[in-house]
Amino acid sequence: PICPNGGTNCQVPTSALFDRAVKLSHYIHSLSSEMFNEFDERFTPGRRFLAKSGISCHTSSLNTPEDKEQARQIQHEDLLNLVLKVLRSWNDPLVHMVSEVQDIREAPDTILWKAVEVEEQTKRLLEGMERIIGRIQPGDSENEIYSPWPGPASIPGDENSRLFAFYNLLHCLRRDSHKIDNYLKLLKCRLIHEGIC
């Protein structure tokens, strides 16, 4: 079969891959923010979650750029692989999140639907990132290390610690999905629009 680019090796244009990836990352982050805000409003008042030992994310060991200058200096290959690592680090926690939210008695239905949607769309985005990286830097990034999730840090039977562990997970998801969304938008400007968006 003849492909649009004339050859026989049909490929979705890289610009289209990035367009779809950015739409997905934006959507995942807005859902994650909504979930966190809804849970924060419902469960945090009076529980002083943050006064506890503070927030800790399983992905904090990944050396991600924290401001514009750092993001500007990092090579795009490294930034692409970072996005892939962060995404992979969320496979297991998202599966846990979907099952956990069903056991939280007063969790609003909207959080469950959004958790399922985030899990599904994150898988799609991960597939897309693997395509994009395969396109931009052919080479095996299959067995790249990522940040394994240690599992829920809650004391069995202690409802408050369980809610705090869930709060912590939602907070980290909101933060990491914002990072992914930011980095992808940067990469799209750099690689598709030659740095002039």
- Footprint on this chain of another protein (rule: CB under 8 A): 1, 3, 10-12, 16-17, 20, 23, 26-27, 29-30, 33, 50, 54-55, 64, 66-69, 71-72, 120, 124, 127-128, 131, 175, 178-179, 181-182, 185-190, 193, 195-197
Q: Minimum distance between the CB of residue 103 and another protein, rounded to whole angstroms?
A: 26
Q: Minimum distance between the CB of residue 167 and another protein, rounded to whole angstroms?
A: 13
Phi, psi of 34 (to 5 degrees): -60, -45
Name which of 3 and 155 has its Cβ closer to another protein.
3
Q: Minimum distance between the CB of residue 25 and another protein, rounded to whole angstroms?
A: 11
Indicate if the alpha-carbon torsion angle 104, 163, 125, 145 is positive or negative: negative
Q: Minimum distance between the CB of residue 131 and another protein, rounded to whole angstroms?
A: 4
Question: How many Å apart are CA 46 and CA 130, to the nearest integer?
Answer: 43
Name which of 165 and 186 has its Cβ closer to another protein.
186
Name which of 135 and 158 has its Cβ closer to another protein.
135
Q: Three-state secondary structure along the chain?
A: CCCCCCCCCCCCCHHHHHHHHHHHHHHHHHHHHHHHHHHHHHHCCCCCHHHCCCCCCCCCCCCCCCCHHHHHHCCHHHHHHHHHHHHHHCHHHHHHHHHHHHHCCCCCHHHHHHHHHHHHHHHHHHHHHHHHHHHHCCCCCCCCCCCCCCCCCCCCCCHHHHHHHHHHHHHHHHHHHHHHHHHHHHHHHHHHCCCCC
Name which of 148 and 195 has its Cβ closer to another protein.
195
Q: Minimum distance between the CB of residue 3 and another protein, rounded to whole angstroms?
A: 7
Name which of 47 and 68 has its Cβ closer to another protein.
68
Q: Minimum distance between the CB of residue 105 and another protein, rounded to whole angstroms?
A: 28
Name which of 145 and 196 has its Cβ closer to another protein.
196
